[in-house]
Chains A and B, each alone.
Chain A
Amino acid sequence: MSQKTEKLIDKKGLRLDGRKPDELRPIKIEVGVLSNADGSAYIEHGKNKILAAVFGPKELHPKHLALPDRMVLRCRYHMAPFSVQERKSPAPSRREIELSKVIRESLEPSIFLEYYPRTGIDVFVEVLQADGGTRCASITAASLALADAGIPMRDLVVACAAGKVDDTIVLDLMDTEDKMGTADVPAALMPNLNAITLLQMDGILTLEEFEKALNLTLEGCRKIYAMQKEALRAKYVSVKEVEE
């Protein structure tokens, strides 16, 4: 993360892809894209292309993992071998295992797990193409897939990152900015409850810079939340049209 080969922000204050510091990449979200899953969603966040699917609630296997008072949420984040520049081995890496854990923990607070004791629910996230910020886009899609599966939830979970690039705090880092920038702060939010369910950081930030980055991320989350709700509505509106 230390080498600097080119300027990441030009004289006009624009970024490599022409965005302003507080501008999101183009985002396209679709809900209900897989027919076999109980719920699913697809997100294109910049060049990220990610599918999320939900199966359950269902009987949990192996059975001894079941809990008497609530549902068990399981989550797998996985990157396709062709999703990155150099082929990634399909075996789960340590990074993927950690991300599966933090994604699960970011979704758990949003679900009424106690409504379905002794059952399990599986969330599968497949990154088809990665371009920085995959964990955030994965959470945004996975939460929609859960909603699409009809799981009772307190709120949708939406995630976004901010970071520091060339001494500027910027929103929604893409791959190059993530690798060459000085810091990255991914966060997930339940907007109606103002609750942060994922927070990570790497890089170096002063307390003031961190506060600025955190606020910028949360602002970004709220913008994506609007798109998330729109995508959910769009699916059911189109279903109605088919019926008529």
Chain B
Amino acid sequence: MASVITRVKQKQIVQLIAKGKRLDGRGLMDYREIKVEQGIIERAEGSARVLLGRTEVLVGIKIEIGQPFSDTPNEGVLTVNTELVPLASSTFEPGPPDENSIEIARVVDRGIRESKAIDLEKLCIEPGKKVFIVFVDVYVLNHDGNLIDASALAALAALLNTKMSNYEIKEGEVKIKPGHTPLPIRRHPITVTFAKINDKLVVDPWLEEEQIMDARLSMAIDDDGNICAIQKGGSGYFAPEQVLEVAKIAREKAEEMHKKLEL
């Protein structure tokens, strides 16, 4: 995801951050404006579009019937995939998912899975044989930084918007009945990402901040303020005190977000 950023601008960003300001006018711990729209793809069982400043992510949910994993015969299956669509950035190329898109998908997956957001046991049709498989497909449409938070939020919004077809079992066959039920969502994990720039922490880095950051740290926080997933990225490091500071602020930010989005 490399592209060029001039030295003058790098210096400007770093100097501003040292004074507690940012190039786009935000405070160090402010998110960009967040917009969430649900149900925009009618063909999908659930969908949502999230705008995080100029970062734009679309998530579509498809549900199919398939086999459970052998170690969890009574649970439905959750699958998260991320596409860094070439139209989103000049640095994205067509082709199979690279390590960046796999990382985003796995971090989003971890947040939903570890917080036990979906009641997967309710997605079991016939133990060991038939379960519902929830496909969460994250489509990045415009890359302006912090894809992890935008993707995680869009995935949650899409899951909350998902309606499953009613069904009944007749002679071992699954028959679709009229009507829909919402997907059983119990928890609402929010992922908060920080960048470390010149030993200062900022929340929700935008593209140019990401390009000059030393490292990033993402934490997924559940409804009770517990941490349910963490991922460090980038080729820098964090001091132990910084990690604990991140955890504390992430919890505050997630609480704010839960209130604001009425989750």
Contact = CB atoms under 8 A, between A and B. Distances in A.
Nearest to A106: B232
A105 B233 contact: yes
A102 B240 contact: no
A36 B228 CA distance: 43
B232 A204 contact: no
10 contacts: A102-B232, A109-B215, A197-B232, A198-B232, A200-B232, A201-B230, A204-B116, A206-B227, A207-B248, A210-B227
A108 interface: yes
| Interface range on chain B (Cβ under 8 Å from partner) | 35 or more
Interface of A: 1-2, 94-95, 97-98, 100-102, 104-105, 108-109, 185, 190, 193-207, 210-211, 214-215, 218
Contacts of A94: 97, 102, 105-106
A235 to B, nearest CB: 27
A238 B63 CA distance: 61
Interface in B101-137: 102-103, 105-106, 110, 113-116
A45 B113 CA distance: 28
A98 B239 CA distance: 23
B225 interface: yes
A205 B229 CA distance: 9
A203 B244 contact: no
A210 B115 CA distance: 15
Contact of B222 (A108, A193, A204): A204
Closest 8 pairs (CB-CB, A-B): A201-B230, A195-B237, A108-B235, A199-B232, A101-B99, A197-B237, A109-B237, A202-B114
Given A194-B240, A196-B238, A196-B240, A97 B231 contact: no
Nearest to A213: B227
Interface in B178-232: 215, 217, 222, 225-232
A183 B225 CA distance: 15
A214 B246 CA distance: 13
B239 A203 contact: no
Interface string B154-195: 000000000000000000000000000000000000000000
Contacts of A104: 235
B57 to A, nearest CB: 19
Contacts, number: 97
Nearest to B100: A101
Contacts of A204: 114-116, 222, 226-228
A210 B103 CA distance: 22
Contacts of A195: 237-239
B227 A205 contact: yes
Name B's interface SS: mixed
Given A101-B103, A102-B232, A196-B243, A202 B237 contact: no
B239 A185 contact: no
Interface of B: 97, 99, 102-103, 105-106, 110, 113-116, 215, 217, 222, 225-240, 243-244, 247-248, 251
A202 B222 CA distance: 12
B54 to A, nearest CB: 26
A204 B229 CA distance: 8
A160 B247 CA distance: 20
Contacts of A210: 227, 247
A100 B239 contact: no
Given A194-B240, A204-B226, A105 B234 contact: yes
Contacts of A185: 230
A207 B97 CA distance: 34
Q: Which of A2, A105, A198, A211 has the most CB of B within 10 A?
A: A105
Given A194-B239, A201-B227, A214 B244 contact: yes
A98 B232 contact: no
A207 B237 contact: no
Contacts of B215: 105, 109
A137 to B, nearest CB: 18
B114 A98 contact: no
B40 to A, nearest CB: 28
Contacts of B251: 207
Contacts of A2: 116
B102 A105 contact: no
A201 B237 contact: no
